[in-house]
Structure 1
Amino acid sequence: MVGKRLQDPVEEIAQLAFNIRCSVVKMLAAAGSGHLGGSLSCADILATLYGAVLKKQPENPKWGGRDRFVLSIGHVAPAYYAALAHSEYFPVEELLTLRKLGSRLQGHPSKLSGLPGVDASSGSLGQGLSLGVGFALAARLGSGIWTTYVLLGDGELQEGEVWEAAMSASHHHLGNLVAIVDRNGLQIDGPNQLVMGLEPLAKRWESFGWRVLEVDGHDIDALLSVLTEARPPDVPTVVLAKTVMGHGIRSIANKAEWHGKSPKPEQVDGFIHELGIAEEQRKGLYF
């Protein structure tokens, strides 16, 4: 009997990212509100984390040995929820309850909602890295072996608390802390550089004592490489992932107005079609 051939892990992650994006479009259309642009730009990052990087047990979400994850950029919760559902933390069908009265899928992640896989509440921008520092310190104090990952948006790097947390992480030599920045260059008021410039971003992080890695945030092979490579034991790591707001849907890509906008029900089929074309192009099947 011939054994089943294992699928390429990169292709498995890419399929997860595609599923996340399709679910996000459907969820937001059903809810009539939400943040589409950033949910699409971070989908490959979340798919790589939940598809291959994080130590996790979806059937036992409170397992003590799990890696911790903090979604600092809380308004992209739809992509986070989709990553959890497609990783079997809860039924995919529940995704369509997003923002509904009584749903566990609130507009921003809430640990109090009881949704499996959510380790931290978030929503007020700039606070997630501080939570990550706390988780990383707790691992050290409790002899834990987990790593804490924090996903930040680039716009929220304009918040002062981010840099207080960054200074704290390097001071305490938290090599078990990894920050990932979804660097799509846009926020609700327009380009980062016009609202409040961030460059030279890599040098800013380095000046706070962090190891800095830069990567194409839509190149899953590259993401997998930087997120799984050996880390220094006493230096926190930040991954600056260059992405495109609205990635996968060409008609809305790189448009700041889609930061906090949801598709209308009549747009769903067209957006899903565009996602399908983008996936075929990635595979080299579309000409």
Structure 2
Amino acid sequence: MADIQELEKIASQVRRDIVRMVHAVQSGHPGGSLGCTEFLTALYFDILKHNAKSFDMDAKGEDVFFLSNGHISPVFYSVLSRSGYFDVDELNTFRKINSRLQGHPTTHEGLEGVRIASGSLGQGMSVAIGAALTKKMNGEDTTVYTLHGDGELQEGQIWEAALYAPANKVDNLICTIDANGQQIDGSTDDVLSMGSIADKFKAFGWEVMTIEKGNDMTSVVDGLKHAKSLTGKGKPVCVVMHTEMGYGVDFMQGTHEWHGIAPSDDQLAAALGQLEETLGDY
């Protein structure tokens, strides 16, 4: 079990990885990746029951995580490598020809830690329900986790899955919504307002909780532990996690403009100046 200070140091290094990966190829999605760094760090280094050194697709006896909003692959790849799934040096290949680290995660390259392709939004919850039901049928005391963007909730397949899970008592499932209020074309309210995400999931029969400070490590760790305590009681769990897009780099914070653009040389230097190198750059 990692302590909060240790997790914060890991998160700082992950943020350095994110901006360096995206800058190197002048392509990728830094905003949402930076905003979800506390979540992925807490999950893989403290919450998730997993074995990075013996990865297999079945994950028998392990918790499973599915990244549904696959465009935030930089944070996912960084956390996977830093937690031991593959060598950190492979981050150098991000988005390059023949790399296993494609812009959106895929499975046919055999990248350890990746169990679904998630370039097309809206599918992760459906996949997670299938995995969760399988684990229940196998008698496992394990949990399936997902992460979704709030803009992703505009996809219709999400709501089909959201109806199915409570109706079938998929209560070993925790779906977290990254509620940063931003998507590629602007704020989620301007593009297509979702109203109250919490109220919608409650109406569909989910157990719903909120993490108000999704960029505060203590709040995220405590929130995920509380979510885990709610499983096994007949309902799937939805965590509405409020984050800030671009968190950790002052000129990227709170705007959709950094959803999918890369920093210049000067901007990279400015970003790295705000992020402590704690584990060593790749």
**Same-fold call, TM cutoff 0.5:** yes
* Residue 197 of structure 2: aligned partner: 201
CA contact (8 A) 1:26 1:96 kept: no
Alignment pair present for 1:246 and 2:243: no
Once the two structures are TM-superposed, the CA of residue 174 in structure 1 deviates from its matched residue by 1.0
Larger RCO (alpha carbons 8 Å, 6+ apart): 2
Question: In the alignment, is the contact (CA less than 8 A) between 2:13 and 2:275 conserved in 1?
Answer: no
Task: Give the 3-state SS of the residue equivalent to 1:274 in structure 2.
Answer: coil
Unaligned ranges ≥5, structure 2: none
Distance 1:100 1:232 in 2: 40
Q: Are 1:57 and 2:51 an aligned pair?
A: yes
Q: 1-side partners of 2:157 and 2:70: how far apart?
A: 16
| 1:36 positional shift | 0.8
C-alpha displacement at 1:266, in angstroms? 3.5
Distance 1:143 1:113 in 2: 31
Structure 1, residues 192-229: CA drift from partner, whole Å, max 9, x if none?
01111111211101001111111111121121112123
**Preserved contact between residue 163 and residue 204 of structure 2 (Cα < 8 Å):** yes
1:67 to 55, 63, 66: 63
1:43 aligns with 2:37: yes
Contact residue 31 and residue 96 of structure 1 kept, 8 A = no
Would the alpha carbon gap of residues 232 and 252 (structure 1) be closer, same or farther in structure 2, given more than 3 Å must change? closer
Identify which of 210, 216, 224 aligns with 1:214.
Answer: 210
Q: Deviations over 1:260-285 (max 9, x none)?
A: 111123322211112349x9xxxxxx
Pairing of 1:62-211 with structure 2 (within 5 A): 62=56, 63-211=59-207
| Percent of aligned pairs with the same amino acid | 39
Aligned-pair CA distance for 1:138: 1.0
1:123 deviates by 1.1
What is the distance in 1 between the residues matched to 2:107 and 2:60?
16
Structure 1 residue runs of 5 or longer lacking an equivalent are 1-6, 280-287
* Secondary structure, counterpart of 1:112 in structure 2: coil
Q: CA deviation at 1:8?
A: 6.0
Query: 1:273 aligned to 2:270?
Result: no
Q: Is the 8 A contact 1:19 1:86 kept in 2?
A: no
C-alpha distance in 1 between matches for 2:93 and 2:63: 27
Q: Is the 8 A contact 1:74 1:125 kept in 2?
A: yes
Q: How many residues align?
A: 272
Q: TM-score, normalised by structure 1?
A: 0.91
> Deviating runs (4+, > 6 A) in structure 1?
none
> Are the aligned partners of 2:143 and 2:172 in contact in 1 as well (CA < 8 Å)?
yes
Return the letter of the residue paired with 1:188.
I
Q: CA RMSD in A?
A: 1.6
8 Å contact from structure 2 (residues 2, 46) kept in 1? no
Q: Is the 8 A contact 2:247 2:253 kept in 1?
A: yes
Contact 2:68–2:118 (CA<8 Å) still a contact in 1?
Answer: yes
Task: Give CA-to-partner distance per residue, 1:6-33, whole Å, 9 cap, x none.
Answer: x961112111211111000110111210
Are the aligned partners of 1:48 and 1:224 in contact in 2 as well (CA < 8 Å)? yes
